[in-house]
Amino acid sequence: MSPTRLLLVPALVLACLAPASAQDRRAPENRSEIKLSYAPVVAHVTPAVVNIYASRTEQRRNALFDDPFFRQFFGGGRGVPRERVARSLGSGVIVGADGLVVTNNHVVEGMTEVRVALSDKREFEATILLKDQRTDLVVLKIGDGSEKFPTLSLADSDALQVGDLTLAVGNPFGVGQTVTSGIVSALARSQVGDGAYQSFVQTDAAINPGNSGGALVDMDGALIGINTAIFSQSGGSVGIGFAIPSNMVRVVLASARSGAKAVARPWFGASLQTVTPDIAESLGLKRPAGALVANVSPGSPAAKAGVESGDLVTAVDGRPIDDVEGFTYRFATRPLGGEAEITLARAAKERTVKIALAAAPETPARDARAIRGYSPFAGATVANLSPALTEELSLDDGLRGVVVMEAAEGSAAQQLGFQKGDVVREINDQKVGSSADLAKLSGSNPRYWKVTIERGGRTFTSVFGG
């Protein structure tokens, strides 16, 4: 923290302790004065922070009405499904004057109707432009393009420092738009939530249920993150909140503006391993830092640049890498096109290579197929693995074959434990090379089913009765 900022903190405290009549309510005349109160920042930010109301209608039916014996006494008409409306509440940020809104994907996931309420009480029906489960972000569109909405600009989240002042704005518990203050408590936090990109901004500004998708801003009123998660044993704020960095938001927003239905990110083409203290000692490192290359996919950008198994990735474009999550975030936030400079170390010698920033190819085509019939895979949807699909599912680079995309609720595949991301290797000792192969084998009628899958780097074989 700079000396100037250290001097401003006591000034802010004294201003808050002074009698109300003594506090100066005039407009601030310079940058130093604006930091004596958050009010000017809040006035700039709040018009661009919105409330998100999402819902879907569900059909509920009492299972007793499916029993013929029960129906003969109470009549078939009594079994008409009852409707129940499921609702979700969150916050969002307008990031485009043309009506582009960013919020968390989990706020609208599974919902069929999304409405956006502005701070001036107006409401708009929203259209979902792009959903990105890997970052837990979604881009919505409101208005017909004729109106200019208030917006927040995106700050450079890489420029943040621990101790920087922050404001969190959202709709906690549905009580209405609320502003809380705090500092950046930590940077590049990982192991938070289920997202593929773990490099969160941590703040002690109070964040509660309903704040999801809201804004975390700096003292210039620029967006530094989208509030997305809290650590809490009670469900309320304990001063440990997490936000998706604005530089990741920028990547998702760029894909939405281009009209893409999925976020395009650069493909590295190598599997990385966390450097443990034992590995660091074996490599002669002073501390466990960096990301160790486990294997390199043939023909990938990493392979073409000369990256080899055993190389230690220590920096991306000059920015140090502490772990695998740090590399994944840094590389994923690079725009497509051009090159990234990757610093590698081996045997205490460093070298820098240039990696082409290109999207992963979808070769072979995924050829997704829904499996029916009486096989263990009935109710599953499977597809051919490609570099693009491997990236999409956050699987180890280099995996190829047939992958389970989903197992329908209540299906044989779900009941037998098959999960999204399972790679099917063999059925009854026959190799499964494509989704067409799996569909054909699933149509047979053997006495039993012997299935071999790969999950999380481990191989499992199970036998099911025919």
Report pLDDT digits (tens) over 74-119: 455 555 556 666 677 889 999 999 999 999 999 998 888 899 999 9
Feature table: binding site for substrate: 106, 136, 210-212
**The pLDDT value given to residue 64:** 47
Q: What is the largest CA-CA distance in the chain?
A: 87
**The pLDDT value given to residue 300:** 93
Span 423-440, average pLDDT: 93
Residues 217 and 188 grouped into a single domain: yes
Task: Give the list of residues 6+ apart from residue 348 with CB closer than 8 angstroms, or none.
Answer: 284
**The pLDDT value given to residue 198:** 76
CB distance 321 to 289 below 8 Å: yes
CA distance 328 to 397: 12
Cα 88 to Cα 1, 109, 212, 443: the distances in Å are 39, 9, 11, 41
Span 392-400, average pLDDT: 83
Reply yes or no on whether 422 is catalytic. Answer: no
| Domain CATH code at residue 250 | 2.40.10.120
The H-or-E segment that residue 158 falls in is: none
Report pLDDT digits (tens) over 114-155: 999 999 989 999 999 999 988 899 999 999 888 999 999 999
Its domain, for residue 286, covers 270-356
Residues 290 and 251 grouped into a single domain: no
Report pLDDT digits (tens) over 16-72: 333 333 344 455 577 776 667 888 899 999 999 999 998 876 555 555 445 554 455
For residues 240 and 397, which has the higher predicted lDDT (pLDDT)?
Answer: 240
Tokens linked to 451: 């299935």
Domain stops at, among 213, 229, 263:
263
**The pLDDT value given to residue 54:** 87
Residues 323 and 239 grouped into a single domain: no
Tokens linked to 258: 């281009």
Residue 362 falls inside a structural domain = no
Feature table: binding site: 106, 136, 210-212
**The pLDDT value given to residue 85:** 60
Domain stops at, among 202, 233, 263:
263
Task: Give the list of residues 6+ apart from residue 233 with CB closer than 8 angstroms, or none.
Answer: none
Residues 10 and 88 grouped into a single domain: no
Of the listed ranges 284-293, 367-376, 393-402, 432-441, the one predicted with least confidence: 393-402
Strand partners, 178: 170
Reply yes or no on whether 136 is catalytic. Answer: yes
Considering the candidates 88, 91, 106, 434, report the single residue annotated as catalytic. 106
For residues 59 and 271, which has the higher predicted lDDT (pLDDT)?
Answer: 271
Tokens linked to 95: 């990031």
CA distance 227 to 91: 9
Q: How many structural domains are present in the chain?
A: 4
Residue 398 falls inside a structural domain = yes
The verdict on whether omega for the bond into residue 172 sits within 30 degrees of 0, i.e. cis, is no
Residue 72 falls inside a structural domain = no
Of the listed ranges 55-59, 289-293, 316-320, 404-408, the one predicted with least confidence: 55-59
Residue 79 falls inside a structural domain = no
**The pLDDT value given to residue 365:** 94
Q: What phi, psi does 163 have (nearest 5°)?
A: 105, -15
**Mean pLDDT over the full length of the chain:** 84
Residues 350 and 404 grouped into a single domain: no
**The pLDDT value given to residue 414:** 93
Please spell the DSSP secondary structure of 310-330, one letter per residue.
T-EEEEETTEE--SHHHHHHH
Q: Helix, strand or coil for residue 188?
A: strand
**The pLDDT value given to residue 317:** 93
Reply yes or no on whether 158 is catalytic. Answer: no
| Domain CATH code at residue 328 | 2.30.42.10
Residue 223 falls inside a structural domain = yes
**The pLDDT value given to residue 133:** 87
Residues 348 and 384 grouped into a single domain: no
Considering the candidates 185, 212, 375, 434, report the single residue annotated as catalytic. 212
Tokens linked to 417: 């434990």
Side-chain-side CA neighbours of 232 within 13 Å: the count stands at: 16
Residue 71 falls inside a structural domain = no
Residues 118 and 198 grouped into a single domain: yes
Residues 49 and 147 grouped into a single domain: yes
Considering the candidates 136, 204, 311, 422, report the single residue annotated as catalytic. 136
Residues 342 and 395 grouped into a single domain: no
Residue 146 falls inside a structural domain = yes
Residues 211 and 314 grouped into a single domain: no
Residues 415 and 429 grouped into a single domain: yes
Domain stops at, among 228, 263, 298:
263
Residues 131 and 211 grouped into a single domain: yes
Residue 28 falls inside a structural domain = yes
For the chain, percent of residues with pLDDT exceeding 70: 85
Report pLDDT digits (tens) over 311-346: 999 999 999 998 898 999 999 999 898 899 999 998
